[in-house]
């Protein structure tokens, strides 16, 4: 199981008297289990916490008191609209004091997001950037400047970052925090964590721990957090930008694969026209359904929707306007991408049988225009009846999903080892 969600599993440790060290470890586990329950399920009474974790009520009372003292949770009255009598008391995550930072380096922007412990955004900035054209040094220079501004803003607010997770669209060596291969942005063997840390130390002094992960996997963590507790245990998160990637959740766990490369679905060889891909191969799925493919189908190269200096959300709004106005070329482009997207999703559904497929990235902005077409194709092409129970829906997080997942993963350190703000 990925660390994000381990404490949320509600698996409280049994009592043990084998030694002080063991008892301290068990207590940390139980503190994390209580916090994870509040994170995933919302505020709870002490009695509910005891029932859902299986811990004795006196133990829960002691754990809650310790978490209150650590400023990690707070207690307050429950809302009882129209109810009569004294309201009950609920335990809430405390949003103040600690936060996690997620930073996404995408193909066309840098996104910095800080989340408080209760999930409230406390700082956010997005800067458009043609990352492939700028190269690693200039991109990391700009990233460091925005992160430095974020750290300064958090300091003014009295919030302490417990960690920073950097999301990058490529293959990551997590042990060395190196981007080994990111064809979408043209990076190879870039030690991004060390490079960013060096820049931040020069500009900001103290720097929180830095981790690096694949953008689609972090997006999947954020998307799964949206549905955890609803019965969904198997899902795919498809990120739609210049490239196409997937985060795969299997039985509630993030699937990384033997060498961490699981999810590179954009390079499935599905294009019968064998168009060239940025990876150097031909016929990759992302040449059919990636953002570049859609824009190429929708308008000539001189059109403003291809201009990287124009914010992507603005270009997508223009594409939507044309589609809703009935522009023939735009309508044909959306229909073609919807069909080809459905074909690839059907293949993945046949192999992985997910309960849910979430379409993120650019799909979030215009996917409602062709979602029915995608669903029809999936239903028609998946071998199992009713597409094996697979539902396809749009992300509620869109382009923010990877940064959300990064910030949440950084905050996971608090659940593993609760400590004072």
DSSP 8-state code for residue 384: S
H/E run at residue 393:
strand 391-394
Contact by Cβ (8 Å): 155, 123: no
Contact by Cβ (8 Å): 293, 344: no
Report pLDDT digits (tens) over 272-291. 999 999 888 999 999 999 99
The tokens for 369 are 């225009």
CATH number of 229-398: 3.30.420.40
DSSP 8-state code for residue 268: -
- The answer for residues whose C-beta is within 8 angstroms of residue 67's C-beta and 6 or more apart is 31, 34, 35, 73, 91, 418
pLDDT at position 77, please? 80
For 199, the 3-state DSSP assignment is helix
Mean pLDDT on 339-359:
96
CB-CB neighbours of 168 under 10 Å: 25
DSSP 8-state code for residue 80: -
Q: What is the pTM of this model?
A: 0.85
pLDDT(150) > 90: yes
Contact by Cβ (8 Å): 305, 317: no
Phi, psi of 305 (to 5 degrees): -70, -10
What is the distance between the alpha carbons of residues 94 and 74, in angstroms, rounded to a whole number? 6
What are the residue ranges of CATH 3.30.420.40 in the chain?
Answer: 98-217+402-416, 229-398
CATH number of 7-93: 1.10.10.10
CATH 3.65.10.10 fits 98-217+402-416, yes or no: no
Task: Tell me the pLDDT of the chain averaged across its residues.
Answer: 89
Packing angle, helices 57-69 and 20-41, rounded to 10? 80
- The answer for residues whose C-beta is within 8 angstroms of residue 42's C-beta and 6 or more apart is none
pLDDT(143) > 70: yes
Choose the most confident range, by mean pLDDT, from 3-7, 41-45, 188-192, 277-281.
188-192
pLDDT at position 57, please? 92
Share of residues in the chain with pLDDT > 70 (%) = 92
What is the distance between the alpha carbons of residues 21 and 98, in angstroms, rounded to a whole number? 26
pLDDT at position 36, please? 86
Phi, psi of 287 (to 5 degrees): -75, -10
Q: Which of 14-23, 253-262, 331-340 has the lowest mean pLDDT?
A: 14-23
What is the distance between the alpha carbons of residues 375 and 381, in angstroms, rounded to a whole number? 10
Residues pairing with 359 in the sheet: 238, 394
Distances (CA, A) of 203 to 99, 152, 156, 197, 200: 20, 10, 16, 10, 5
pLDDT(17) > 80: no
CB-CB neighbours of 8 under 10 Å: 23
Report pLDDT digits (tens) over 78-126. 765 554 545 578 999 887 789 999 999 998 899 999 999 988 999 999 9
Mean pLDDT on 339-344:
97
Q: Which residues of 38-67 are buried (b: 16+ CB within 10 A; e: fewer)?
A: bbeeebbebebbbebbebeeebbeebbebb
CB-CB neighbours of 171 under 10 Å: 18
Contact by Cβ (8 Å): 333, 297: yes
Q: What is the CA radius of gyration of the chain?
A: 23
């Amino acid at each position: 199981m990925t660390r994000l969600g381990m404490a949320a599993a509600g698996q409280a440790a049994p009592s043990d008297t084998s030694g002080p060290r063991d008892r301290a470890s068990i207590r940390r586990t139980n503190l994390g289990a209580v916090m994870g329950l509040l994170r995933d399920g919302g505020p709870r009474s002490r009695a509910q916490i005891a029932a859902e974790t299986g811990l004795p009520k006196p133990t829960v009372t002691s754990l809650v008191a310790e978490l209150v003292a650590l400023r990690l949770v707070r207690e307050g009255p429950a809302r009882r609209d129209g109810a009569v009598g004294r309201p009950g008391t609920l335990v809430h995550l405390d949003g103040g004091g600690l936060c996690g930072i997620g930073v996404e380096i995408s193909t066309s922007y840098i996104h910095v997001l800080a989340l408080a412990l209760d999930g409230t955004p406390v700082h956010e900035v997005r800067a458009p950037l043609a990352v492939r054209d700028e190269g690693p040094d200039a991109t990391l220079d700009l990233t460091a400047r925005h992160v430095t501004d974020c750290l300064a803003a958090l300091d003014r607010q009295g919030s302490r970052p417990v960690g920073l997770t950097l999301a990058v669209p490529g293959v990551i060596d997590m042990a060395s925090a190196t981007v080994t291969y990111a064809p979408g942005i043209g990076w190879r063997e870039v030690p991004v964590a060390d490079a960013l840390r060096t820049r931040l130390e020069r500009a900001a002094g103290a720097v929180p721990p830095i981790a690096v992960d694949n953008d689609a996997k972090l997006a999947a963590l954020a998307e799964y957090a949206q549905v955890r507790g609803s019965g969904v245990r198997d899902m795919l998160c498809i990120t739609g930008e210049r490239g196409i990637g997937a985060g795969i959740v299997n039985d509630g766990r993030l699937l990384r694969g033997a060498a961490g490369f699981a999810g590179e679905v954009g390079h499935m060889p599905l294009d019968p026209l064998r168009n060239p891909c940025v990876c150097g191969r031909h016929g990759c799925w992302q040449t059919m359904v990636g953002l570049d493919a859609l824009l190429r189908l929708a308008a000539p190269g001189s059109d403003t929707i291809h201009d990287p200096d124009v914010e992507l959300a603005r270009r997508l709004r223009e594409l939507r306007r044309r589609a809703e106005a009935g522009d023939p070329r735009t309508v044909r482009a959306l229909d073609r991408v919807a069909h080809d997207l459905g074909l690839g999703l059907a293949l993945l559904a046949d192999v992985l049988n997910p309960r849910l497929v979430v379409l993120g990235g650019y799909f979030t902005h215009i996917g409602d225009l062709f979602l029915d077409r995608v669903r029809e194709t999936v239903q028609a092409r998946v071998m199992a009846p009713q597409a094996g129970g697979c539902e396809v829906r749009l992300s509620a997080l869109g382009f923010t999903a990877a940064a959300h997942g990064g910030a949440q993963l950084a905050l996971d350190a608090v659940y593993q080892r609760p400590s004072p703000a």
